[in-house]
Amino acid sequence: MTYEARVGLYKKIERLRKRPLIVYSTRFSNYNSGSMSMDSIPEFCEQILQTPSNSKKVDLLLVSQGGDAIVAWRVINLLRERFDEVDVLVPYVAQSAATVLSFGADHIVMHPFSCLGPIDPQITIQSNNLQMPPKTFSVEDIQAYLEFVKKDLGITASKNSPADSEPSGFNPNVLDHLVKELNPTEIGIVKKSMKLSEGLAEKLLLLHMTDKKQVEGIVKKFNTMTHHGYTIGRKEAKESGLPVEYPSKQLEKLMWAVWTDLSSELKCNVPFDPLIALTANPKMSAALTNNINMGLPYTLTASEVQKIAVVESKQFSSHYDVRDQIIGSGNGINISFNVVSSALGWVRSKTG
């Protein structure tokens, strides 16, 4: 299916829900995953401008593993400036910053296969050694470390600790080990990000909820999960106090049809393999086979464009593209690969 074919699904959802629909989806894969980012805001603005002037309600169909929490705040505020009621439809995954975004909805319509997730921010720090993978961690990781050395190992960082005035395993270097991995600035960034996420989540819930204690309870629950990858299904989300609704069977099928087609277009279930990408071109495949058989050194290149995010409606579609340049070099059967990605930015299609 193509965008033009998806427009038919969007029209069916709009007729069923009696309101316009905007779709926001980001790619998740083993390479070049997309995330919620500020560059999507102009696309949302244009989509809002294209909605009928007499529309008072809007649906946002959302699939994303997260991104910038500020984007969640910005998107909800843009929608609420224009519409009296905002509902979020979740056919599959809306985790991290996408969960924060859903907090700003009057209703969260969740498919049986859908899930939300914890809102504790994950911070990625690139090592000075570019050959090493970046480090990703959260405040919960730091707290878990300190709890482990104190409660499980019986080690405390201070002889004057009120929790253990005569520690059996005192080690003054407990914090030294931590700051060797993460410097104080990085730890501070994580703490500030957690406070920002908590604050935004609370403000978004208070846009449509009046019980502040209930709001604080929801934020606490979603911010204190033991693992960032924990998934929260619609039953648990509803029990937490969120305004979760279950779709009708008809809407359920339409939501899933939209997601399965977007997943295919974004190649969410297709692992990236540079060898497959390089040999997809028959000429490159033949050249590689010929050089391997002859034992000659070679350098072959190929490129492909990948969509990593989509903002669309029945009016028009915008997609964020990234170009991957794959370079394979070797001698005989020994091949090494280098992949260089370059952003192409947002591309708008003609209206459907």
Looking at residue 155, its pLDDT comes to 61
Looking at residue 142, its pLDDT comes to 64
Q: Which helix (H) or strand (E) holds 187?
A: helix 184-205
Q: Average pLDDT for residues 27-56, to the nearest whole number?
A: 94
Query: Which of 189, 157, 193 is CA-nearest to residue 172?
Result: 157
Contact assessment for residue 106 and residue 87, using Cβ atoms and an 8 Å cutoff = yes
Query: Which of 28, 30, 17, 31 is CA-nearest to residue 61?
Result: 17
Q: Average pLDDT for residues 293-309, to the nearest whole number?
A: 83
pTM: predicted TM-score of the whole model, two decimal places = 0.83
Give all domains of the chain, ordered by start, each with its CATH number: 3-120+195-265 (3.90.226.10), 124-187 (no CATH), 274-348 (no CATH)
Per-residue pLDDT band for 271 (boundaries 50, 70, 90) equals confident
Q: Which helix (H) or strand (E) holds 292?
A: helix 282-294
Per-residue pLDDT band for 168 (boundaries 50, 70, 90) equals very low
Structure tokens at 137: 């961690």
pLDDT tens digits, residue range 314-327?
A: 999 999 999 999 99
Per-residue pLDDT band for 352 (boundaries 50, 70, 90) equals very low
Mean pLDDT of the chain: 85
Structure tokens at 12: 């069916």
pLDDT tens digits, residue range 86-120?
A: 999 999 999 999 999 999 999 999 999 999 999 97
Specify the 3-state DSSP secondary structure of 126: coil
Residue 258 half-sphere exposure toward CB, CA atoms < 13 A: 32
Q: Average pLDDT for residues 273-288, to the nearest whole number?
A: 79
Q: Which residue has the tokens 């693992």?
A: 227
- Given a cut of 70, whether residue 134 has pLDDT beyond it is no
Looking at residue 152, its pLDDT comes to 66
Looking at residue 286, its pLDDT comes to 80
Contact assessment for residue 75 and residue 101, using Cβ atoms and an 8 Å cutoff = yes
- Given a cut of 90, whether residue 273 has pLDDT beyond it is no
Measured between alpha carbons, how far is residue 323 from residues 15, 30, 272, 339 in Å?
37, 16, 13, 10
Q: Average pLDDT for residues 298-325, to the nearest whole number?
A: 93
pLDDT tens digits, residue range 225-269?
A: 767 678 999 999 999 999 999 999 999 999 999 999 999 999 998
